[in-house]
Chain A
Amino acid sequence: MNEKTDDIILAFESSADETSAAVVKNGNTILSNVVATQIASHQRFGGIVPEVASRHHLEWINRVTEEALTKAGINDPERQLSAVAATYGPGLVGSLLVGLMAGKTFAMVHHLPFIAVNHLAGHISAANFVKATVYPALAIMVSGGHTELLWMEKENTFQIIGTTLDDAAGEAFDKVGRILGLKYPAGKEIQEMAGHGKAVIKFPIAHTEDDFDFSFSGLKSSVLNYVHHHEQVSEEFNRNDVAASFQKAVVEAITEKSRLAIEKFQPKQLLLGGGVAANLALRTAFENLSKEYKIELTEAPIKLSGDNAAMIGAAAYLNYKQRLFAPLDLNVDPSLNFARM
């Protein structure tokens, strides 16, 4: 018997507009992480067109898979790999289907167990590449599709403490980007403009009924009103100041809700992940929060903040340890989410 000392997982991610395959060792070491992005395609339309996204995923799935295997030195998957994983939700149904079918087929043909991964658990698990998490932990997941405060009592358990009632944080960035005439996705450019501006405009932070929930659509509307008003009366305004003030409002909303959660639940660890976690103002705010409460913070590396399969491999490993395998008839679940606490 060939005893495997390491557990190596091949993971797939295709929930939105990135096609990715990665090979991850023991849930914390990346052997390869290949990502093909479709941003240039969807920029033509000002946002993701789901049918176009699915077509691109299919065009790229084999190339991405083969490159991930080659880079990781996998030439005999059946012997070298312990399992195959894929994101099964949440996300766009047609996009998810390509990665899920690829993962299930790969597992079947090489007689390997299959692991179905929740995309949000993937974003949070990106922190495992930095260091092991101490529990209980409070995870903050901010991306184009999600804004969640999650409670992790122990490893691989997730409960929603708070979530967005309307737009996700990243979505708000993109919508404000459109108001300012920026290209999709607008997060990076808004961050850059904010660096050249001053947060002098008072945009309101919405107060939601439930203490821990978010709402960003009101903030977006007040940015829209501000810009429209100034344009209508042909009054000059500083676009960098708008960016800085908007960014400050988003960061404040997220950190304030997190502060409330820290005080109520007393976590031993903070985790920050998701595409918006690449925002430097947000990172700084959480670094300060971590110092203030003397709670260790693990941030997903900026390179692993956006969608990628390595984070899916990290999350899959937690399932692998518990032998949580999925059958070949598992379907995608576009609106998959965790339960409320």
Chain B
Amino acid sequence: MKILAFDTSGSTLNVGIFDSTTGLFFAHNHEHDLARTHSMKILPAISELMRKAAWDYKDLDRIVVTAGPGSFTGLRIGATVAKILASQLSCDLVAVSTLFAISDSIKLTAGQLKVPLINARNHNVFAAAYDQQGKVVVSEKHWVFSKLLKQLPKNSCFVFEEGSGDEFKNEIKDNAFKFVEQKSNRLIDPKVLAKSALFLPVIDPDHFVPNYLRKTAAEMNWEAKHPEAKDGEYSKYVSEV
């Protein structure tokens, strides 16, 4: 199976192509960028990898993209590319939780739970907990950090990008948890991401939207004033003219 995988959720752009039959693998990652500038780098990176492998786009069997959480703008850049690629090539689309991808990209001592964490500002985080087989122990959510700490079993180990979790380190230690910092360009391994296409479900590209895990302030305020309005029916507010 010929797989193209990419991640634009964070500060590093990750792109990889992987052939599950031959084991061929090429990757591109670009560090120290703002997520929003992935819009400049992602397509040249993809076309360069395709050229290296001498594949045409029509050869692709599966597209893999990180579904969020992460930078809202970054996620939309990757999601747009993934949606158009999958629909134009009529090939399969797989969306992988960014937190799962972070967790899946790191090896920890046996028995430890992996708690990938993305800083969501104001001492809030996007986080989840997985066991070593990748099974969800605590579901991914937008957490107030102190509340997340209360949900975690003893042997939890946080995983986050170097420099992004300094404000949490003391609380992590005080609660007798551990943490591992990963360099930005090692947080998500494009090969691991590509391989997740082999066991995760295929989704409909036309209806795929990122898993932002957080509504906008405008919507939260509006919903607080309109409790009767049904949740999750975004598209009813958009119509063709």
Contacts and interface: CB of A to CB of B under 8 A. Distances in A.
B46 A108 contact: yes
Interface stretch (A95-103, A197-205, A218-226): A95-103
6 contacts: A36-B239, A38-B238, A61-B83, A62-B206, A66-B206, A108-B43
A105 interface: yes
A51 B216 contact: yes
B200 to A, nearest CB: 20
A56 B36 CA distance: 18
Contacts of A45: 218, 222
A52 B238 contact: no
B72 interface: yes
State which size class the interface on A falls in: 35 or more
Nearest to A41: B237
Given A41-B237, A65-B84, A101-B77, 11 more contacts: A38-B238, A40-B238, A49-B218, A58-B76, A59-B209, A94-B72, A106-B88, A328-B47, A329-B43, A329-B44, A331-B37
Nearest to A64: B240
Nearest to A308: B241
A251 interface: no
Interface of B: 36-37, 39-41, 43-44, 46-47, 57, 72-73, 76-77, 79-81, 83-85, 87-89, 205-207, 209-210, 212, 216, 218-219, 222, 234-241
A276 B239 CA distance: 21
Interface string A100-123: 111011101110000000000000
A108 B57 CA distance: 9
Interface of A: 19, 34-38, 40-41, 44-45, 49, 51-52, 54-56, 58-66, 77, 93-94, 97-98, 100-102, 104-106, 108-110, 327-332
A52 B216 contact: yes
A328 B238 contact: no
Contacts of A330: 40
Nearest to B42: A101
A54 B239 CA distance: 15
B209 A58 contact: yes
Given A56-B237, A97-B39, A105 B84 contact: yes
B238 A98 contact: no
A35 B239 CA distance: 8
Contacts of A93: 36, 73
B40 A55 contact: no
A56 B233 CA distance: 11
A111 to B, nearest CB: 8
A62 B207 CA distance: 8
B80 A97 contact: yes
Nearest to A98: B80
Nearest to B56: A111
Contacts of A37: 238-241
B111 to A, nearest CB: 40
